[in-house]
Chains A and B, each alone.
Chain A
């Protein structure tokens, strides 16, 4: 029988194993840390979003990474 450890990166499997409330509280800590580093809550420009009005880019993220982390596209 296949397990998620065989096909997913370890950090995601660890995240999946938390309860929803544990994830919520961990996410809140991440958000607090992100803001403490000067991170912006402005939305990222997203030309594929129907809401995108071609607005100028928001300030650079402090960690240079998108807010919703995409680890892979998986060829699907």
Chain B
């Protein structure tokens, strides 16, 4: 769902870790534990690998010791802020099959874009490139794709182009994205200001979402440190 998915979708060239979104029910967690054992992966840091923490939105972190993935980090989550529950995103996932039969199950592009709306600087240029790559890949886009671009595109020039080419759809989406008015007027500075405002709002939402979870992590780390103190 993370950097590796962004490689497939064209927004990054390389990622050093693997992020996995899972259904956190007991049988599936058992299967995941077996796969992690194959990778000789150890849980690192906090929280512990348990369904309770995953259900609350925490990420559980592993480091592999298998020679083919030595020291590779795997982050596992069961819930993403701003993204529908697992069952829904699984139904609309993207499946890619390699010539050797390897199957890759990816978050759909719209879900990946939503998951990247975080408090981190580095995620926002990635969203921009995810949309640019999609725009490049679909010269004969249907209405659904154009609506998606009008909702999520973060490249001012392309937003203005889309609003000019699709005025009715743009008008239809005004209630959900006010910067489209600036795009319709070909006001690039206005579009840029609107994009910045959107980003700041989402960053604040993300910080608010993570505040209690981070507090919980701080407490877990303190407990761990106390347990590790020599008597």
Q: Interface on A for B, CB 8 Å cutoff?
A: 1-2, 4, 6-8, 12-13, 15-18, 20-21, 23-24, 26-27, 30-31, 34, 39-43, 46, 48-51, 53, 66-76
Contacts and interface: CB of A to CB of B under 8 A. Distances in A.
Contact of A75 (B70, B98, B104, B192): B192
B8 interface: yes
**Interface residue SS majority, chain A:** loop
Nearest to A71: B125
Interface residues on B, range: 35 or more
A75 B95 CA distance: 34
B192 A76 contact: yes
Contact of B14 (A7, A30, A76): A30
Given A13-B136, A74-B125, A21 B96 contact: yes
A24 to B, nearest CB: 6
Contacts of B135: 4
Interface string B88-121: 0000000010100000100000000000000111
14 contacts: A16-B10, A16-B129, A16-B132, A21-B8, A24-B96, A41-B17, A41-B69, A41-B72, A42-B73, A49-B120, A70-B122, A74-B125, A75-B192, A75-B196
Of the candidates B104, B157, B210, the one having the most CB atoms from chain A within 10 angstroms of its own CB is B157
B161 interface: yes
A69 B133 CA distance: 15
B158 interface: yes
Interface string B45-75: 1000000000000010100000001111101
Interface of B: 3, 6-10, 12-17, 45, 59, 61, 69-73, 75, 96, 98, 104, 119-122, 124-126, 128-129, 132-133, 135-137, 154-158, 161, 165, 192, 195-196, 199, 210, 213-214, 217, 221
A17 B15 CA distance: 19
A43 B124 contact: no
Contacts of A39: 16
A21 B98 contact: yes
B139 to A, nearest CB: 10
Contacts of A66: 122
A48 to B, nearest CB: 4
A22 to B, nearest CB: 10
Contact of B8 (A24, A48, A73): A24
